[in-house]
Amino acid sequence: MAVIASNRYVPEAHSRHVMEVWSSSSFLPRLSARMQEALLDRATVRQIDAGDLVNERHAGAAPHLVLVLDGLLRTFRQAMTRQVTVRYVAPGDVQGLAETIRPSGPMRSQALTDAKILVLDHLTFRSLMQRDSSDAWIVAEELVALNHQAVELLSENVFLPVRQRVARHLLELALRQEDRIVVPATAADVAHAIGSVREVVARVLQSFKQDGLLAGTGQNFVLCDLAGLHTAAMEAVDKSHARRH
């Protein structure tokens, strides 16, 4: 995994596309006009290649506060050779809120596809939020929502059988490419995402291929039967519901 280089900055923070994502897909329009203007005036756009690490931190490095404009990122924790994904970050999502307020453990972000992000000035964000309780409350609400999402994803990765977890992650990561629905991942990538091991996930993926749900082409999986994958993803829920009734 390569770290994005500083020379990849693109001066287009006020482009039409940036403003469309900002105003229609993120929580940022709820902030005060003063906060929004200050953030946009100091923002820069970065292009990121698939596989790049977005916020590779080191001693003294500043936290990254970004708005995803295009593509798909994941936030993950790593211990030894094992990884677990705690959040997928899609266009309109803001990444790095918690780290901006209080830097914590070794949380990392990686681009799953080629992506474009708007990098916001974290010092401006902190300073203005500390002066305006209304902005601080809006950010607190967003952090609570993100926490709930992370708990839900981690709960699924702990309690659901591997087959259901794999099916859900394939559906969640699915992207349209021309006339196909693809997932830009390998068996190891999926294993990292759900906190499992590659050998176990590879067996599940092979079973999906045998059932006609999935096909593989290099670094991509092609989803052949979305309805069948949805059924596989919901099997554990359906069985749990049946037991209660």
Q: What is the DSSP string of 66-115?
A: EEEEES-EEEEEEETTEEEEEEEE-TT-EE-HHHHHS--S-EEEEESSSE
- The predicted model gives 216-239 an average pLDDT of 78
Report the percent of the chain where pLDDT is more than 90.
31
Residue 85: pLDDT over 50: yes
CATH number for the segment(s) 160-244:
1.10.10.10
- Please name every residue paired with 79 in a beta bridge, in sequence order, or none if there are none: 82
Q: From edge to edge, which strands make up the β-sheet containing 107-111?
A: 82-89, 73-79, 107-111
Residue 78 CB partners (closer than 8 Å, separation 6+): 106, 108
What's the pLDDT at 146? 87
- Please name every residue paired with 215 in a beta bridge, in sequence order, or none if there are none: 222
Tokens of 70: 């295009």
What's the pLDDT at 27? 94
Considering the four listed CATH numbers 3.30.1280.10, 2.40.50.140, 3.20.20.70, 2.60.120.10, the one that applies to the domain covering 6-157 is: 2.60.120.10
Read off the pLDDT of residues 96-134 as tens digits, 9 standing for 90 and up: 888 888 776 667 788 877 889 999 999 999 999 999 999
Is residue 87 within 8 A of residue 97, CB to CB? The reply is: no
Kindly list the domain boundaries of the chain, sorted by start residue: 6-157, 160-244
Residue 245 CB partners (closer than 8 Å, separation 6+): none
What's the pLDDT at 234? 83
Residue 10: pLDDT over 60: no
Better-scored residue on pLDDT, 243 or 19:
19
- The predicted model gives 19-34 an average pLDDT of 92
Residue 8: pLDDT over 50: no
Tokens of 116: 């474009």
Read off the pLDDT of residues 167-185 as tens digits, 9 standing for 90 and up: 988 887 888 777 888 888 8
Which pLDDT band, with edges at 50, 70 and 90, does 206 fall under?
very high
What's the pLDDT at 158? 72
Residue type (1 letter), 84: V
Task: Provide long-range contacts, Cβ within 8 A and 24+ apart, for 29-35.
Answer: 30/138, 31/135, 31/138, 31/139, 32/128, 32/132, 32/134, 32/135, 34/128, 34/132, 35/125, 35/128, 35/129, 35/132, 35/135
Which pLDDT band, with edges at 50, 70 and 90, does 243 fall under?
very low
What's the pLDDT at 143? 92
Residue 78: pLDDT over 60: yes
